[in-house]
Amino acid sequence: MFSPCSRHLFISSQLRRLQSTLVVAEHNNEGLLPVTQNILSAAKKIGGDVSVLVAGTKCGPAAEQISKASGVSKVLVAESDVFKGCTAETLTPLILATQKQFSFTHILAPATAFGKAVLPRVAAKLDVSPITDIIGVKDANTFVRTIYAGNAILTLEAKDSIKVITVRGTAFAPEPLEGGSAAVEKAPEGDYKTDLTEWISQELTKSDRPELTSAKNIVAGGRGLKSGENFKLLYDLADKLNAAVGASRAAVDAGFVPNDLQIGQTGKIVAPDLYIAVGISGAIQHLAGMKDSKTIVAINKDPEAPIFQVADHGLVADLFKAVPELTSKL
């Protein structure tokens, strides 16, 4: 006979074996976007089999990359011109067909513009409640996420039989793409063409600097810079640090920089090794997007600015004097 403790452990291990997770990969056909590796880490914490869906036009290289990750049991590939641009309208029926065939208990995607467009549709079609932007996994049914712009942490238990989840990539370590040899199979075939939307084109900003969400160092500016021309101070500093450049919503709304540089609750979520906030007061919406950074340095002339409450190092100074001096010493 099993003791109560042994019985609990046995049942728990059996349930973990029954878990199966589908990770919807984000990629550019030529390769995976780094955030997919973070989502794999979250999937492995849930336990059970992990499968990855890669859909695109010529996504063979991305599928080959993910098949090398340890812990992935199979990679499902859907290649067709229908998936050009990976629109939510074409991916949703593909994910539903894949779910119907394999009966996954969890469906995961990154909490990026891509994942936020696709998974709510999937959840609605499956008649379940989506679980958004998780930062932790307690067990297969219990997850951790932030609320109130990151000022409170919520632990929730999901009751739905299928959990549809977007994952904050910065909260999980990236899973290395080595040590595995997953089988690569065709995803369920079907008519996934839609007349609802048509992918026309995409214009990407080209830069020699690191991409904002994956950069190890970030220099960010706020309204204190007073104009877009003054952001050159930050670009010069970023060049010395091999850093990406970001901005607060106030700077974006003022027209200083384009909105793809916005960091915060309604912008991009980042967690670099070094975050230098220049002329940023520290509204809670901005802090929600960067306070997981390992080291935060704040430069602001207002000693009462909220940014100093989360900063590891603070400098109360005129940024127009402090930033050029800092740049010259690097």
Binding-site annotation, residues for FAD = 223, 248-249, 262-266, 279-286, 300
- Residue 45 token pair: 């914490």
- Residue 289 token pair: 């997007």
Contact at 8 Å (CB) between 198 and 161?
no
Q: E strands within the chain?
A: 20-24, 49-56, 72-79, 106-110, 131-137, 142-147, 152-157, 163-167, 183-186, 217-221, 244-247, 274-278, 295-300, 313-316
- Residue 151 token pair: 């000022």
Please report, in range form, the residues annotated as the binding site.
223, 248-249, 262-266, 279-286, 300
Q: Which helix (H) or strand (E) holds 21?
A: strand 20-24
Q: List all residues 6 or more positions away from 51 whose beta carbon is below 8 Å from its beta carbon.
A: 20, 21, 22, 23, 72, 73, 74, 75, 76, 102, 104
Angle at the Cα of 310 from the Cα atoms of 307 and 312, rounded to 5 degrees: 110
Question: Rg for the chain (alpha carbons), in Å?
Answer: 22
Contact at 8 Å (CB) between 28 and 152?
no
